[in-house]
Amino acid sequence: MPSGGLSLIVNSGAARPDMNLGLPSVRQRTDRQPTRCQAASPVFATADAGATPSLHFSQATAKHVAPPAFSQRIITMHTQPRTLLLASSLALAIATASGGALAENMSKDITEARQESQIWTAYSISPYLRASALKVSVENGKATLSGRVTEEANKELANEIALGVSGIDSVTNNIVVDAKFTPSKSSDALSFGDTIDDANTTAAIKSKLLWSRHAEGMDTKVVTRDGKVTLSGTVGSSEAREYAVSLAMSTNGVTSVDNHLRIKADKPDMVESGKQAASEVGDDIVDSWITTKVKSTLLYSRNVGGTGIDVSTENGIVTLSGKVLDGAERALAVKLTENVRGVKSVQSKALTF
């Protein structure tokens, strides 16, 4: 036995086997010279009815303890299973104590990754920042920005976007303003922001075609890549074909239009449901539908300040009011309005410049 261990002697009257506790991994010893218990092992004892057990401890300085004058019994547990039990208990205690800290660190990492993604996504969508080589990192509510932009205004925009993300308390802006900076761009791959722009352009053109008076007999497909629009399918007349190209070309973000539309007069309606929305409901609903589509058409079109033009409709007659830059913008606003399905006429005297 190592020095410093403990001895346990259980004194009882006559030994009774039927009082044995029967615990596993326990052996009983009835030697004349009682064996010393292992210091790290728990000890279990039996006793006779009517006898009062007594426990004796002594430092392990001798090999044996002198036997008393009555029967004795010592029970010990094997050291190896007990050691494994203690090791398992210790590991479980450590895991339990550190579990809260681990979960907290994981939650913090996830939050910071989400914040970095939000800032980066906003930069990618912004037409002023998407071409810039910007990097973002977040730690403990502090965003650190780096990279290069061509104008001071773009650096300030990047700073404001980062501060607008929930949980960002401060920003360290290390972005360098370089007027000669030219971002590198792959010849084939589109940026995330460019892809979003193309999707918005396609949706705007499809919507304007759907709302137009030329929708009947029109079955078109619109594809946009890097601002270049391709129209294919069929239309009901040559007028509708020309209008589709004009409408697509006037849409925000379009740089060119490749027209593959074919004329097929007997082609069924592309959007029967859209036509019914403007013809099968009451007059009040029709007017509100027209007003909404005119506003959207102006908003989706370039060279027209859609947000500065007020639109009202009564019995199919649309009135435009507000301010425009010149006569050309007013004429374009009137033309776009006239081509919306359900519009009978357009009043533009209140649209001044």
User: One-letter amino acid identity for 6?
Assistant: L
> Confidence band (pLDDT; 50, 70, 90) for 159?
very high
Q: What pLDDT shows up at residue 265?
A: 58
Q: What pLDDT shows up at residue 55?
A: 44
Task: List, in sequence order, every residue forming a beta bridge with 321; answer none if it has no partner.
Answer: 310, 350
Query: For residue 129, is pLDDT > 80?
Result: yes
Minimal CA–CA distance to 236: which of 219, 253, 224?
219
Main-chain dihedrals φ then ψ at residue 339, nearest 5 degrees: -90, 5
Main-chain dihedrals φ then ψ at residue 247, nearest 5 degrees: -65, -45
Report the distance separating Cα 337 and Cα 309, nearest Å: 12
Residue 146 · residue 217 · CB < 8 Å: no
Q: Provide the strand spans (E) within the chain.
A: 6-11, 26-29, 54-59, 72-77, 133-139, 142-149, 170-177, 219-225, 228-235, 256-263, 309-314, 317-323, 345-352
Q: What pLDDT shows up at residue 346?
A: 93
Q: What is the model's pTM?
A: 0.55
Instruction: Label residue 310 exposed, middle or buried (CB < 10 Å: 0-12, 13-18, 19+).
Output: middle
Burial 171-189 (b: 16+ CB within 10 A, else e): beeebeeeeeeeeeeeeee
Average pLDDT, the chain: 74
Report the distance separating Cα 237 and Cα 3, nearest Å: 107
Size (the chain), residues? 353
Query: For residue 64, is pLDDT > 50?
Result: no
Percentage helix, strand, coil for the chain under 3-state DSSP, each rounded to 5: 40, 25, 35
Query: For residue 39, is pLDDT > 80?
Result: no
Q: What pLDDT shows up at residue 70?
A: 40
HSE-up (13 A, CA, CB side) for residue 7: 20
pLDDT tens digit sequence for 260-309:
999 885 544 444 445 444 444 444 458 899 999 999 888 888 888 777 89
Residue 259 · residue 229 · CB < 8 Å: no
